[in-house]
Chains A and B, each alone.
Chain A
Amino acid sequence: MALSKIQSNSYEDTAVHGQRNLIINGAMQVWQRGTMVDTASSGSYLCDRWRIGHGGTDGNVDIDRSTDVPSGKGFAYSQKISMDASETSLDANDNLALRQRIEAQNLQHLAKGTSDALRVTASFWVKSSVASTYTLEIKDHDNTRNISASYTINATNTWEYKTLTFAGDTSGVLNNDNGTGFEFIFWLDAGTAFTSGTFSTAWQAQTESERVHSTTGWLESTSPEFYITGVQLEVGDTATTFEHRSFGDELARCQRYYCRSYNIGTDIGTNTLDGSVTTRQGGTPSTNNVAFNVDFPVTMRAAPTITLYAKDGTSGKVSDFGTSYSGDGTDRAVSAVNAIGMRGFGGGNFTGVSENDIVVFHYEASSEL
């Protein structure tokens, strides 16, 4: 049989073209931290891998997991961003953007900074209460360079599919490390500090005033809403069909950056033992040292920040059950967490525990970029 009979040239063939999406959780499947937040702080995460950034906004930024999705495209969820109050007037530095940072070592195949630098194409489904011209930007953190492209949402409150191709960059090699290489930025709106210059549609040294095409009017509109799902970034100048991954596959990718002991679907602060770590103080009582070992589900990007929670959900505490293991136990302060590494952590110092006490805690570990 001729080789052409068994090899597919079709971009529709996801079996051939699997693993091509550089974006993690592009279908908004994984929400380990919860599914809604009112007043999201700038720099925080809710939907896994997606970071919200804002400055100067008059209203609070709300994020929700939504089942409002483009019909028949195989998506279960979208990410909804809304405001609880409109901007009285847009100040120069006001801004709101949804971002995803990508590890530099996962971008080496783009050959950035060489004459062979590859183009990339972004594709996504988007719906907004404000029809306007929006901006998608790729920022190179290692070299402080950027390129932006604009797209138009033609109709309000209607799902639209967008594709944008970005040129390869022959300047600025990305470090081959676990730091941020690209940041992929959906600008929902921005003031003149980001829009007043000549829009940067070619790679260049980042100039703040040239990053965003124009003010969209979104922040100043009444009850603005923005939905997005099916985000893909791939090598080449053609947007292929979205690479649907299994939940387990996407979850494991997300857990490189954030994981926790609580069950999926259980909010931080919930009073529960399910999934918690249980150990027993077996050393000299006066030291408060407790031996245990926690293994993360996957190797994390870097040694993560660890937050421990008592059974009742209090942060910075563990639950001391004495020897009875009933009720909620007594909260004990965590004075140290030992041996934090990319694969896990082990041992801690919990003020007030006694010899042979049963100690229980939940944890979350974050090594986001």
Chain B
Amino acid sequence: MIITSAKYTKAHDSEGSLTGDNLGIVIVLNGVTSHVPLDPANTHYAEIMRQVNAGTLTIQEAD
């Protein structure tokens, strides 16, 4: 599974600023942009965390 980028996402408040906890992770997988929930039963999330733990992927903070 080739994940070329990963970044946390957050909700935006009424002023347009990021707020609250991370909602999920936006990834680019095989050139397609997808949104992954923070659910260990989700196989994409599990793979992201496997790659993070292996030091081969870094999740960027939400911006």
Residues of A within 8 A of B (CB): 41, 43, 177-179, 283-284, 286-289, 301-308, 315-316, 334-341, 347, 349, 366-369
Query: Within 8 Å CB of B42, what residues of A?
Result: 302-305, 367
Query: Within 8 Å CB of A340, what residues of B?
Result: 23-24, 35, 37
Can you name 15 extra interface pairs (CB under 8 A) apart from A286-B16, A304-B42, A336-B11? A283-B14, A303-B39, A304-B37, A305-B36, A305-B37, A305-B42, A306-B37, A315-B34, A335-B26, A336-B12, A336-B26, A336-B35, A338-B23, A340-B37, A366-B44
Query: Within 8 Å CB of A303, what residues of B?
Result: 37, 39, 41-42
Residue B56 lies at the interface, judged by CB distance under 8 Å to chain A: no
State the CA gap A287–B23 with chains docked (Å).
17
Neighbour of A301 across the interface among B12, B36, B41, CB < 8 A: B41
Query: Within 8 Å CB of A288, what residues of B?
Result: 12, 16
Query: Within 8 Å CB of B10, what residues of A?
Result: 336
Query: Within 8 Å CB of A306, what residues of B?
Result: 34-35, 37
Query: Within 8 Å CB of B9, what residues of A?
Result: 335-337, 349
Query: Within 8 Å CB of B30, what residues of A?
Result: 41
Q: Do the beta carbons of A43 and B1 come within 8 Å of each other?
A: yes
Shortest Cβ gap from A344 to chain B (Å): 12
Contacting A at CB under 8 A, from B1-43, are: 1, 9-16, 23-24, 26, 28, 30, 32-37, 39, 41-43
Which of A43, A340, A347 has the most CB atoms of chain B within a 10 A radius of its CB?
A340
Shortest Cβ gap from A234 to chain B (Å): 26
Q: Do the beta carbons of A178 and B41 come within 8 Å of each other?
A: yes
State the CA gap A41–B30 with chains docked (Å).
9
User: Between A and B, how many residue pairs show CB distances below 8 Å?
Assistant: 86
Q: Do the beta carbons of B36 and A302 come within 8 Å of each other?
A: no
For chain B, the count of residues having a C-beta within 8 Å of the partner chain is: 25
Residues of B within 8 A of A (CB): 1, 9-16, 23-24, 26, 28, 30, 32-37, 39, 41-44
Query: Within 8 Å CB of A308, what residues of B?
Result: 35
State the CA gap A41–B35 with chains docked (Å).
20
Query: Within 8 Å CB of A336, what residues of B?
Result: 9-12, 23-24, 26, 35
State the CA gap A306–B37 with chains docked (Å).
8
Q: Which residue of B lies closest to A314 (CB)?
A: B33
Q: Which residue of B lies closest to A43 (CB)?
A: B1
Neighbour of A307 across the interface among B14, B15, B32, B39, CB < 8 A: B32
Query: Within 8 Å CB of A335, what residues of B?
Result: 9, 26
Neighbour of B41 across the interface among A302, A334, A338, A347, CB < 8 A: A302
Q: Do the beta carbons of B16 and A287 come within 8 Å of each other?
A: yes
Query: Within 8 Å CB of A369, what residues of B?
Result: 43
Neighbour of A337 across the interface among B1, B16, B24, B32, CB < 8 A: B24
Shortest Cβ gap from A43 to chain B (Å): 6
State the CA gap A303–B36 with chains docked (Å).
8
Q: Do the beta carbons of B11 and A315 come within 8 Å of each other?
A: no
State the CA gap A335–B7 with chains docked (Å).
10
Neighbour of B34 across the interface among A286, A301, A305, CB < 8 A: A305
Neighbour of A287 across the interface among B13, B24, B26, B36, CB < 8 A: B13
Q: Which residue of A lies closest to B38 (CB)?
A: A303
Query: Within 8 Å CB of A305, what residues of B?
Result: 34-37, 42, 44
Shortest Cβ gap from B42 to chain A (Å): 5
Q: Do the beta carbons of A179 and B41 come within 8 Å of each other?
A: yes
Q: Which residue of B lies closest to A301 (CB)?
A: B41
Q: Can you show 14 pairs from A to B with CB atoms below 8 A apart?
A: A179-B41, A284-B15, A303-B37, A305-B35, A306-B37, A307-B35, A316-B33, A335-B9, A335-B26, A336-B10, A337-B23, A338-B11, A338-B23, A341-B37
Q: Which residue of A lies closest to B2 (CB)?
A: A41
Which of B10, B26, B42 has the most CB atoms of chain A within a 10 A radius of its CB?
B42
Q: Which residue of B lies closest to A339 (CB)?
A: B23
State the CA gap A308–B36 with chains docked (Å).
12
